[in-house]
Each structure stands twice: as C-alpha cells, then as structure tokens.
Amino acid sequence: MGADYIPAGYCPHCGYRIDPGRCPECGREVDRPVKRAPRRGRRLKRWLIGLSAFALALIGLWFGGRYIVYNWWPATHLRRLSGGSEPWRSWAYNVILYRYHKYEPLVTARADRIKAELKELPDHDWAGYYTYERAHVSPVYLAPNSGAAHYGGGLGPVRLNYGRVVDVSADALTLKLRFNPAGMGRNQVTEHMIRVWWGDCHFLIPGQRMISFCNAVNIGEEKIHYLSRDGCGEVRPPGFPEAPQEYEACIFREPLLTVVTAVDETRTRTTSDGRDMTITTARINSGARDRVFVGMELLRIGDPVRSSKRWKIRVVVVHETTATVEATWKRPWFSLLSAPRALIEAGSCLRTGGFTVPLTAHDTVPGPDGSDQLSIGDGPD
C-alpha cells in the first residue's frame, strides 16, 4: 500500500483505523467500519455525564443543605451566633427570620384553634393557657384535640413551636413537637412535661428540670418561674406542691440542717468571660437517710434566698450517711483585683429553705459529732 493510503473507517469497538475484516487491535470481525472514531465520542460522552452528575450533586447539596440548615439547625447554636461577630451574626439572624416568617402563621393558626376549643372546656383538668408570669412571657396554649402552640420569649422566632398531645396521665403530659426543643433554655416546652398541682395552681415542668423545680421549692423562692396555668406561679402558692411519687422525696416539708465535716479540695479556674471561679469540694454529715439527693441545692445559714447568681452549693455525690457537695463562687467584675475565696470551710452550716425566721449566729445546729455547733459563717458578698 502507498504512503497516502487511508483505511475505510474505524473499528466500532476499539476505534482503530481498519478496512472491513478482523481488527488487528481488538481481534473482532468488522463488516462495516464506522466513519468516526468511537473512542473520541465515548470519551466526550463520559465527560458530559460526569459534569452533569457533578452539577446535579452541587445543586442537590445547595438546596438540600439549605433546607436542612434553615429548618433543622440547632436553635441554641443560632442564638449563640446571633450574639457574635460578623458574618455569622447576619447569617444566624437570616435563618431565624426565615423560620419566623415560615412558621409564625402556623403557630398563630394553631393557637387560634386552641383558643376556640378552650372556650368549650372552661373547667378542664389540664387544658388552658400557660405562661411563666402574668406578664404573658412565653405563652403556651394546650387543648386535647388542637394540640399545643408555644410563643417563646427573648429571640422569639427560635422558640416558636407547635405540635399535638400524644398522651396524658395523672403525672405527665406527652407532646409531639415540630422542632426539637433541646437547648432552648429555661423557658421551654419539651415533649415530656411533668404535671404538678400546688394548691389551685397547675404547673407543667420539663422532665429534665424537675430537680431544679424541687430546689426552688426547698430553698423558698418567692416566684416559681415555671409554666403555670394563667401565670399563677408568679406568686408562690401556699403549702407545698403535690409532686409525682418519684419526686416526692425531693420536696422538703421540714427544713434540713447539715454541717460541713471536711473540705477535700479547693481549686480555681477561669471562666469563658475571663473571671476566676473558685470550686470547693467538701463533705457534709447528711446523706441518703436524710433524703439528700444528687443535684440538691443548699444555702449557708444567714444567706438570703438566692442572694446571688455568682455562687451555688450543690450536692454531687450521695452516700448513706454522708454526701459530697461542690460550692462554686465566681468573682464579680467589681472586685477583679481581690483574691479568689472559698465559699465554705470545715464547720460551715448549710440548710434548705423553709425557715419562718432566718437563722443567725446565735442559733445552734448539730455538729459532726452530735454536739451543738455554733460556727455559722458570714453570708456571701
């Protein structure tokens, strides 16, 4: 063959230039060679398919990720970002605003249905309008058929929620909510609410905050800032609440007095806002036999009820006759130059609330060995 000879076409299987007959490249019989090289077209086709799949994946990630973020991103993180710096602050605000515009009409419509149903249930056992204060902070509407609607306080759009009532018992209320309420802070509605009657006042307490409710009762807080029907918890009801059986032992109808027998450790760490916090671990001479429970809060004798948010004494370990407490004290901004201090020491006297007359240094409490103990200690700054 001459140097200018050009075969009749291409092998349709491998793209080798051949005349009709057996392909020397792949060994297949070819009766009619194709005019265009199939390998080049096949490669282009693969590239087009790959680019199309990549573009579709990007579009799916964009819209799918946007839907997930705008509808399911944790509310706690949004609140944290909205108080931070740019550009995350603007992004978090846009997500919150989107949720508000999308779900606020649904919550309003659900609340209107509940209000209409409540007019037909004037003396219902649990249905009604619940709030944290009579100032209508974070209202919650509940009805058997129309379900639940919650308008949150503070960053309102984050705490919008609605759902249906799944189950009701004498001690609890079970809901199925649109948004996961985890991390919504103190003013929240969860899917498991504990029912507590306190006189004529009906409370709904989130299951994970029942211990905090018992502490508020024991310490003697004047305002019970938990969901109550018609905001009746703004003024402490008379007597004591009727808690479910598993929490009845956590309600102290008589005050508890105890003494710090030994201090195990005192350490200091720096908090996220740059202040020093002193943490003291100590042992007290009351335990499970005295109904002391993990998470129980105590006051020093002479301290007013909830005199400061900078300090707290809480039980962390309970034994039969003793318990371990952890006392934390955060140094205030106005005394940053002062040295860190321990909140309690050996011989300090601790108590729950319930005293009609505040104890003073002239009163006696039992010491570690059963004798009278007079070391009362001063209140916090």
**pLDDT tens column, 206-260:** 888 899 999 989 888 888 888 888 888 788 888 899 999 999 999 998 888 899 9
Domain co-membership, 315 together with 192 = no
Domain co-membership, 275 together with 228 = no
- What pLDDT sits at residue 42? 62
For the ranges 27-41, 63-77, 147-161, the lowest mean pLDDT is seen at 147-161
Q: Higher confidence at residue 41 or residue 299?
A: 299
State the residue range of the domain holding 240: 96-248
Q: Using CA atoms, how far apart are residues 149 and 116, in angstroms rounded to an integer? A: 13
Q: Count how many domains the chain has.
A: 2
Q: Is residue 32 part of a domain?
A: no
Domain co-membership, 111 together with 240 = yes
Domain co-membership, 276 together with 136 = no
Mean pLDDT of 62-77: 76
**Structure tokens given for 335:** 């005394």
Task: Return the residue matching tokens 């034994």.
Answer: 319
The DSSP output letter for 222 is S
Domain co-membership, 224 together with 284 = no
Task: Return the residue matching tokens 């900078």.
Answer: 310
Q: Using CA atoms, how far apart are residues 230 and 201, in angstroms rounded to an integer? A: 9
Say what the pTM is: 0.69
Q: Is residue 293 part of a domain?
A: yes
- What pLDDT sits at residue 356? 40
pLDDT digits over 40-56, tens only? 556 677 788 888 888 98
| Angle formed at CA 317 by CA 311 and CA 319, multiple of 5 degrees | 135
CB distance 138 to 213 below 8 Å: no
pLDDT at 355 over 60: no
- Res. 154 pLDDT band, cuts 50 70 90: very low
Domain co-membership, 128 together with 183 = yes
Domain co-membership, 138 together with 160 = yes
Helices 75-82 and 88-118: angle between axes, nearest 10 degrees: 130
Q: Using CA atoms, how far apart are residues 9 and 20, in angstroms rounded to an integer? A: 8
